[in-house]
A = this chain, B = another copy of it.
């Protein structure tokens, strides 16, 4: 009875195509990344250029972060840092978005590449150095900053963000949560679960996809058949924004809007920053094994640098010159050296740190293991 296959009476049902079904989803429309400044530093949206003091702050902030990223890479090379996930090239994406938050009320749920966003939201450089050294005191997140733990397992943080948003709303704090995920990470089911959860409840959460083109060696196209991941916003009926992630003015403008909407009870937004990982995946990675370092990355390094773009703009606006640059770099370097020295002066990790903070009060196994640890430490010191 089943599987009967016949020619159709009126001949049509075998020649159907999508267009003829009333219920067919419309073909994807064009989408262009939102931009305020062109790569040559010239405004494409004069009407959206903010106060130049703010633009200068953005330039200084990004320069400081890039300097830090450079320094971290050389610390790794000289074995004064562990394996580190660079954010270089993504300064506009992280600084421009995180600066849209209110540090007192708002939270960040970061992933491993969000050192820039975390520092923007109140992590200290010294803390960051020690974290990437694998020093327990570096793992101690500051009480003064609303930064949830750095997540390595992709994309745990997006669910924490949705949950923190639920919690903040329940407490009526007016706080907003911002979280980041790589374009590779969007293939994980949890990203869907989180966005759907938060949007069904209209909780105050901003989801940012940092599309830097690569997931280690896997290019964007392997992750999904769709051109822009932000198209998924339609599936949750939340605002979605495609943004030139190397244009900090565009990034910041959209982030502010999304944060304000979240604060106003309008629920989450999904934002895709089109940016680029100009550096290796981590300091342990060698991209030559999978991409031509003189092709695409070179273009982004030279032609699409988010910092150079703002510098060009400020120079055109006569707000910037070489003297200022020299002074700024000196200032940044001084700050960094001070942080590095402070980090260097922190005592080596205490072995006891291994057994702290597992349960609030130690179960007996932890107590027994602490005795074992003491013996081992004594042995090592004896040896």
Contact = CB atoms under 8 A, between A and B. Distances in A.
Contacts of A256: 13-14, 16
Interface stretch (A219-227, A305-313, A347-355): A219-227
29 contacts: A1-B60, A2-B99, A2-B103, A3-B99, A6-B50, A6-B54, A8-B54, A9-B52, A10-B49, A12-B47, A13-B50, A16-B253, A16-B257, A21-B253, A22-B32, A22-B33, A22-B242, A23-B31, A24-B242, A25-B31, A25-B231, A188-B189, A189-B189, A189-B190, A224-B237, A225-B267, A226-B236, A231-B237, A232-B235
A10 B47 contact: yes
Interface stretch (A193-201, A276-284, A291-299): A193-201
A87 to B, nearest CB: 15
Contact of A61 (B2, B191, B234): B2
Interface string A226-255: 110111111111111111100000000110
Interface residues of A, number: 90
A272 B267 CA distance: 25
A240 B25 contact: yes
Copies in the complex: 2
A17 B257 contact: yes
Nearest to A32: B22
B2 A50 contact: no
Nearest to A186: B196
Given A33-B23, A223-B200, A235-B229, A2 B121 contact: yes
